[in-house]
Amino acid sequence: MRTALVFGASGQIGEALLARLDPSQWQVSAVSRTPRPPSSNVRWLQGEFAGIEGLPDSVDVIFSTGPLDGFAQWYARGQVATTRVIAFGSTSVDTKQASGDAYERDIVARLQAAERLVFETAETNDAPATLLRPTLVYGAGRDQTLARIAAMARRIGCFVLPRGADGRRQPVHVDDLAAAALAVVDAPATYARAYALPGGETLTYREMVARTLAALDPPAKLWQVPMPMFRGALSLARMAGMMRGLTDDAVARMREDLVFDATPARNDFGYAPRAFIVDRRAVGS
Ligand SMILES: NC(=O)c1ccc[n+]([C@@H]2O[C@H](COP(=O)([O-])OP(=O)(O)OC[C@H]3O[C@@H](n4cnc5c(N)ncnc54)[C@H](OP(=O)(O)O)[C@@H]3O)[C@@H](O)[C@H]2O)c1
């Protein structure tokens, strides 16, 4: 029996990881800020990074599937001994580096610092770390992009995009990320390395949204309008307190390719993500 400590275990990736940690092989401690009932092989610990009750002295593997900056600082304090660390970051470290939005650049800077701290701490502790950087995550019906689009389209029966939203995307399913986290555990080639984890299909932003809308019951319509009209409507929506998360930079990125190479992950741990298939769960039904 192996032991694991999972941060962010209630999140969309964490939940998929817990489901993959076979009770006949893994004894799991999972951290949440909210009290949760135990299950067959999962003991929930309550707390924030600054104070978690009942942490084990040591575990075989620590998985971080929540905020990387909080995890990196917690790990550097050395409260739990381990010989292996697997942590999720984001491909945003590459795609948002030159964003015109100061908030996005700050997130990138924090992610980069957190990645560095995880690798430095792991090296000091002689516990190899692997960083996994997903592209746009979907599948659990609670992501910030497609599930949100689905929720809005369900309310109003349609969704509007600016014309030319043809930047390529590679949405990645939460379960493929959970499988990747487990696949790297015993893969020495992945020690002290970071991997982009794109989904198994590359498609345009418009096609990604169209497929999401088609999965709704009833399906919602996709309208495309000229960019100036879209920006005008977005300004009005923001004034009404809506769509504040959709920044001008995020709109501009709809026309940009955000594409990553899965070859290193495929070669080092057999990463084989699925094509982009949107089922009812992915759209929160
Ligand atoms: N979502 C995406 O599209 C995407 C894309 C690329 C990379 N990623 C990365 O993948 C990882 C997981 O993403 P996710 O969207 O599944 O997770 P998430 O929802 O951001 O967080 C997962 C869990 O972490 C806990 N958590 C959140 N904020 C916390 C805080 N301030 N302090 C302590 N715990 C906190 C929450 O659990 P409790 O409420 O139970 O405490 C939450 O359910 C993150 O590192 C993220 O950067 C996500």
pLDDT for the residue 59: 98
Give the domain range for residue 103.
Answer: 2-134
> Which residue has its alpha carbon closest to ligand 1 atom 23?
8
CA distance 245 to 5: 32
Residue 48 predicted with pLDDT over 90: yes
> Which residue has its alpha carbon closest to ligand 1 atom 25?
8
- Quote the ligand 1 centre to 89 CA distance (angstroms): 10
What is the dihedral angle through the alpha carbons of 263, 264, 265, 268, rounded to the nearest 10 degrees?
120
pLDDT for the residue 210: 98
- 142: alpha, beta or left, given left = phi > 0 and alpha = psi -120 to 50? alpha
In a domain, 21, yes or no: yes
> Which residue has its alpha carbon closest to ligand 1 atom 10?
88
Domain match, 98 and 156 both: no
The stretch 21-46 carries a mean pLDDT of 94
Confidence of residue 213 (pLDDT cuts 50, 70, 90): very high
In a domain, 278, yes or no: no
Q: What percent of the chain has pLDDT over 90?
A: 84
- CATH code for the domain in which residue 115 is found: 3.40.50.720
In a domain, 37, yes or no: yes
pLDDT for the residue 94: 84
Domain match, 66 and 151 both: no
In a domain, 41, yes or no: yes
Domain match, 6 and 117 both: yes
CB-CB contact of 176 with 254 (8 Å): no
- Quote the ligand 1 centre to 14 CA distance (angstroms): 8
pLDDT for the residue 103: 84
- Quote the ligand 1 centre to 223 CA distance (angstroms): 31
CA distance 95 to 197: 14
Cβ atoms < 10 Å from Cβ of 242: 12
Higher pLDDT, 245 or 197: 197
Strand partners, 284: none
List all residues whose CB is within 6 A of at least one atom of ligand 1. Answer: 8, 10-14, 32-34, 48-49, 65-68, 70, 88-90, 134, 136-137, 143-144
Tell me the one-letter amino acid at 18. Answer: L
Higher pLDDT, 22 or 97: 22
Domain match, 162 and 90 both: no
The stretch 7-25 carries a mean pLDDT of 97
Tell me the one-letter amino acid at 244. Answer: R
pLDDT for the residue 46: 95
CA distance 254 to 251: 5
Residue 157 predicted with pLDDT over 80: yes
pLDDT for the residue 243: 79
Domain match, 58 and 154 both: no
In a domain, 264, yes or no: no
- Quote the ligand 1 centre to 141 CA distance (angstroms): 14
Pocket test of ligand 1: the residue of 31, 33, 73, 197 to mutate, having most ligand atoms within 8 Å of its CB, is: 33
pLDDT for the residue 254: 96
Higher pLDDT, 99 or 210: 210
CB-CB contact of 178 with 16 (8 Å): yes
Question: If you average pLDDT over every residue of the chain, what do you get?
Answer: 95
The stretch 59-82 carries a mean pLDDT of 97
CB-CB contact of 268 with 125 (8 Å): no
CA distance 15 to 40: 15
The stretch 176-202 carries a mean pLDDT of 98
- For the chain, how many residues are written? 285
Confidence of residue 96 (pLDDT cuts 50, 70, 90): confident
Domain match, 66 and 90 both: yes
Three-state SS annotation for the chain? CEEEEEECCCCHHHHHHHHHCCCCCEEEEEEECCCCCCCCCEEEEEEECCEECCCCCECCEEEECCCHHHHHHHHHCCCCECCCEEEECCCHHHHCCCCCCHHHHHHHHHHHHHHHHHHHHHHHHCCCEEEEEECCEECCCCCCCHHHHHHHHHHHCEEEEECCCCCEECCEEHHHHHHHHHHHHCCHHHCCEEEEECCCCCEEHHHHHHHHHHCCCCCCEEEEECHHHHHHHHHHHHHCCCCCCCCHHHHHHCCCCCCCCCHHHHHHHCCCCCCCCCCCCCCCC
- Quote the ligand 1 centre to 232 CA distance (angstroms): 32
Residue 249 predicted with pLDDT over 90: no
Q: 101-148: per-residue pLDDT in tens?
A: 888 899 999 999 999 999 999 999 999 999 999 999 999 999 999 999
Indicate the range of 188-197, 229-238, 251-260 predicted with least confidence.
229-238
Residue 98 predicted with pLDDT over 80: no
Confidence of residue 93 (pLDDT cuts 50, 70, 90): confident
- CATH code for the domain in which residue 163 is found: 3.90.25
Tell me the one-letter amino acid at 95. Answer: T
In a domain, 197, yes or no: no
Cα torsion 113, 192, 180, 167: sign: positive
pLDDT for the residue 110: 94
In a domain, 232, yes or no: yes
Domain match, 102 and 78 both: yes
